[in-house]
Structure 1
Amino acid sequence: MDYAGFWKRAAAAIIDCIISVIGGAIIGIAFSILMVTNSNSNLETIQTWSNVIGIIIGWLYFTVMESSPLQGTLGKMTLGIKVTDLHGHRISFSRATARHFAKILSTLLFLVGYLMAAFTKKKQALHDMLASCLVVNR
């Protein structure tokens, strides 16, 4: 298999971050306007619900796209890479979910979990190892 390199993966992550921020902002603003105009909700309640919705949308974006026949997010597709299991097959929704939430651990370790992709034989980040996944060139 032709494993995707660290910098290619990093560039895809930046693209996905931009998409997530813009999409989240649009949805957050729309949700906030809806909450303010339809109820007497306070700012703290609106912020809490906006955060919950943001987490759900981020989870669905990564999980649905990576477990779909496309096998990658818009950032990954732009860079010509995809997520597979250890045998090169499409991953399941549950494996994509595990991979997504394992990124929390990769982040909490001062991003060392992500940097591992630059140094491991199969170019796997910590969350890839935990979910038994690979990121490969198309």
Structure 2
Amino acid sequence: MDRNDDGWEELKARRAAEAGRNGGYASFMQRLGAYIADQGILFVVTFALTYFLDFGGVENVSGEELTRDDTMGMIIALCLSWGYYALQESSAHQATFGKRMMGIVVTDMDGRRLSFGRATLRYFGKLLSGLIFLLGYLMAAFTPRKQALHDYIAGTLVVRRPD
């Protein structure tokens, strides 16, 4: 079967769904490794961008009043992070660079590729997962399908890549 064939996406979706049903969910440690790698990438890109654009977000972490430049730096960081996750998880790869390194992908509940809207919902659901003392993330270690709170919100699964 050719990878450009319409049936290829359907085959990948079936394989991902089967992987989930057969215990092929990504482990908490795989997800943590992917998260650390992704955050490292985002840190370097955000730091470089805010430094070269001179938004000054780095030197003002001493509790001083936020300036317009600090606010712009935070907005840029949020937009970069959102774009990084939502665009990659809704792409044909179905994974960020960190997830690809760990051999895992994000799917909907039927093993299909996410829409950009669902990937966006998943991303903003992560903010809630983190706001409650990271308990939303820790859920992935204890739930049957290894889902974090943001996966429940968006109706997604993180499974081992069906190669």
108, 124, 128: which is aligned to 1:105?
A: 128
The answer on whether the counterparts of 1:31 and 1:50 sit within 8 Å (CA) in structure 2 is no
1:19 paired residue number? 41
1:66 paired residue number? 89
Once the two structures are TM-superposed, the CA of residue 50 in structure 1 deviates from its matched residue by 1.2
Distance 1:117 1:64 in 2: 22
| Runs of 4+ off more than 3 Å | none
Distance 2:79 2:139 in 1: 27
Once the two structures are TM-superposed, the CA of residue 8 in structure 1 deviates from its matched residue by 0.6
Q: Is 1:94 the counterpart of 2:117 in the alignment?
A: yes
So what's the TM-score if we normalise by structure 2? 0.77
Once the two structures are TM-superposed, the CA of residue 126 in structure 1 deviates from its matched residue by 0.4
SS in 2 for 1:4: coil
Q: Which has the higher helix share?
A: 1
In structure 1, runs of 5+ residues without a counterpart are: 34-42
Once the two structures are TM-superposed, the CA of residue 105 in structure 1 deviates from its matched residue by 0.8
Amino acid at match of 1:27: L
Q: Is 1:82 the counterpart of 2:105 in the alignment?
A: yes
Distance 1:74 1:60 in 2: 13
Distance 1:55 1:114 in 2: 19
Report how many residues are paired. 129
Q: Is 1:136 the counterpart of 2:143 in the alignment?
A: no
Once the two structures are TM-superposed, the CA of residue 51 in structure 1 deviates from its matched residue by 1.1
So what's the TM-score if we normalise by structure 1? 0.91
Report which of the two structures shows the higher radius of gyration computed on alpha carbons.
2
SS in 2 for 1:89: coil
Once the two structures are TM-superposed, the CA of residue 95 in structure 1 deviates from its matched residue by 0.2
Once the two structures are TM-superposed, the CA of residue 46 in structure 1 deviates from its matched residue by 1.5
Once the two structures are TM-superposed, the CA of residue 19 in structure 1 deviates from its matched residue by 0.6
Distance 1:90 1:19 in 2: 23
Amino acid at match of 1:104: L
Amino acid at match of 1:123: K
Distance 1:110 1:25 in 2: 25
After superposition, give the CA deviation of every residue in 1:12-70 in whole Å (9 maximum; x if it has no partner). Answer: 0000111111111011111117xxxxxxxxx8221111111111011000000000001
